[in-house]
Structure 1
């Protein structure tokens, strides 16, 4: 067998300087008029990073996509020339990426090294500039840009399946689970949104950050969303993962919502779904970590539109795995696939009727030390490459033996609310 040589990757030159904490929000720094595929974001409660431009890009596909992405990033970092005056997780050359859910997807995983990154963590703020021309880059700290405009009157149409057809698919899944074929499956649906003018990704990011400040508001290669689920964070040897499974919609009445939260915490159906998800994460992380901590019971996470059962799992990384390596071992978790994984994946392929692409795949960032944060691309939409007036929205629900198909449609509607409201100003 002849081995093809690995294409040469241009050497990066990166400079990170400490800057005064921006007086404006990080998202306000994103330049107007930039191609949606060249804007990057990972922001929660005003902290994180935003980036723009493309110093380097790369795409991977197939069953070895995680290993190939990690290997490419290692090669980039090995030849990079770095001047880092801050030395925090997220400084120096930075990779933003959105990985596909399935190995068989027609879509490609998107890996982007921006030309400019601005970050904020606590009292620290920094600016990283990156080039491939061999010179040490320098740029003045950017200021706020022209505010984004609303996309206008947005119309919605069915995606791969109508709500009625998706309800039938859920019913079929419940039948399979009840007869013992599998324990749980996560089924997703899509919705097509269309605006009269090109959609400014900054509008979506601002709207999501304003309404869902305890989620990670992300953008990578035209995929935009607000995920409440941290698949894995690696920070100086400590790995943590937030598991969400089991959902109930909020009413807007605080007293009623407290009662609903209590009922969620006692729901056998939701507790069963949550237990599967926690077990799958703990088992996967345990292969790389020591001193594992898995709480005995979940807590209720309150978001603007829904409440979730949540559990934070933690461990000390003992085998040198990077954040992306850990994400690969966790994906797909029971929270986005089901249990057992192989059977759930097969049922997803049979019943969903669509290619998930990068929806429900790991999305996030990693620095040259292997530290990083990878969420799951949920509550999100993808701006069409060929038509910037169109965005496809996604939402999914965990189906177990006690699931009610009509209630699952209502839950999926609730999970579509963040992106629908971001588009319409609701």
Structure 2
């Protein structure tokens, strides 16, 4: 497979690639006319130099408040999907938002004039974005731009796995469009790309960071105590409660620099950024919600956690205590059982590990149960995400009882915190993580979120301390 032309920009289209793009655009315009004027997607995918850093390129090449997206898992073959711009916005709210988004994406793909699938997963036309925790979540002003369900088909995307990097250009073509002009616009966008690594985080020269809770710690302790009372009264088995802690700086937080630090510090996590206008939602999440590759699906039941130690012997001891903890094992089993129940009706078989394992991040250890399924039919990954969300790891059990209690006890708008964030491709494959260890960057204000699972024998003070451990993924970086 030829690498994109290096004439001018390293991302410039070669003459043959530009001619192929023109054919796709012309075909899309013809289909749009035959469809009564409904626009049609057109696009091209080309291989680019393996030395390109997709995330750094997107950060360096963003125009103003242009939408952007990055999702990396460095330890998994260096996999990245990074994107710029928005050819089509697919937004939805309400209880059917996942199915609505999946249906609209399938409709766009059915008429699209694009290259056949090639390159790593996530290359070709993609839709990137995420979903709020609640059906109508993100109504607060600081979540503006992050609809309850919002997937963007980017104008330009870069996908990497191992030593392969591919660039995809996509546009929505109307029947009356001038094909030559649309191709020129897409080619010019590729020419403008700047190949750079992610920027270093430049510490605030005057400091002055202030870290404050959206609610006092006593509010959270009280919320946990009230939840424990309801659980012991038999109203529910588990509920997850979150906190918001804000970092106020003297200058705007630097999303690209924060992303670089998180990528280095948490290589086994899903490190992502979703930029909408002047705001960026950023995270280093340990939790896979769903990954689909054809009829194969995989997920991870993640619940129960403890701190890390610099002493290897103490660290191992803490992990063993976690494995033997009745509270944490019970919490883990609730999550695993729900995921298995949700996938079973759609699968030929679904299986989870007999025993959970300890997974270690830079600052925390978790109990995790990998789960795999062979699907009976190719349910789109977006719909699978809707079937699983919210798992008891971020919601509660039973969820019909727990979900209305969460905003009542927390007193905050979670927005996209604990919602699914990810991407889907032309095969309706893709992956979504759960947006944990996350922060919403809004100029000089960063809103950081972390939560814990509350069960019958939860200790409110200990649960508050666990949120402090989880907040350490982002607070030290944002307070530099």
User: What is the Cα deviation at residue 56 of structure 1?
Assistant: 2.2
With structure 2 as the length reference, what TM-score do the two structures score?
A: 0.82
Matched with 2:476 is 421
Matched with 1:202 is 256
User: What is the Cα deviation at residue 145 of structure 1?
Assistant: 6.0
Match status 1:325 vs 2:383: yes
> What does 1:241-320 align with in structure 2 at a 5 Å threshold?
241-320=299-378
User: What is the Cα deviation at residue 88 of structure 1?
Assistant: 4.1
Query: What are the Cα deviations for residues 127-175 of structure 1, in whole angstroms up to 9, with x where unaligned?
Result: 111223554544357511672543623322211x221110111011111
With structure 1 as the length reference, what TM-score do the two structures score?
A: 0.92
- 1:395 counterpart (445, 450, 460): 450
Matched with 2:162 is 122
Distance 1:381 1:9, change over 3 A: farther
Match status 1:53 vs 2:85: yes
CA distance in 2, matches of 1:228, 1:9: 40
**Deviates further, 282-291 or 50-59:** 50-59
Partners of 1:40 and 1:96 within 8 A in 2: yes
CA distance in 2, matches of 1:59, 1:116: 19
Query: What are the Cα deviations for residues 197-231 of structure 1, in whole angstroms up to 9, with x where unaligned?
Result: 22221112111111101001111232111111000
> What does 1:320-399 align with in structure 2 at a 5 Å threshold?
320-384=378-442, 388-399=443-454
Matched with 1:217 is 271
CA distance in 1, matches of 2:474, 2:104: 32
Matched with 2:44 is 15
CA distance in 2, matches of 1:36, 1:316: 41
User: What is the Cα deviation at residue 123 of structure 1?
Assistant: 3.2
Helix, strand or coil at the partner of 2:331: helix
CA distance in 2, matches of 1:113, 1:8: 19
Greater Rg over alpha carbons, structure: 2
Partners of 2:120 and 2:160 within 8 A in 1: no
CA distance in 2, matches of 1:9, 1:331: 32
Helix, strand or coil at the partner of 2:114: strand
> What does 1:86-125 align with in structure 2 at a 5 Å threshold?
86-107=118-139, 108=147, 109-125=149-165
Equivalent residues, number: 414
Helix, strand or coil at the partner of 1:14: strand
CA distance in 1, matches of 2:476, 2:309: 16
Matched with 1:412 is 467
More helix by share: 2
CA distance in 2, matches of 1:85, 1:373: 17
Distance 1:340 1:148, change over 3 A: same
User: What is the Cα deviation at residue 73 of structure 1?
Assistant: 1.2
Partners of 1:18 and 1:86 within 8 A in 2: no
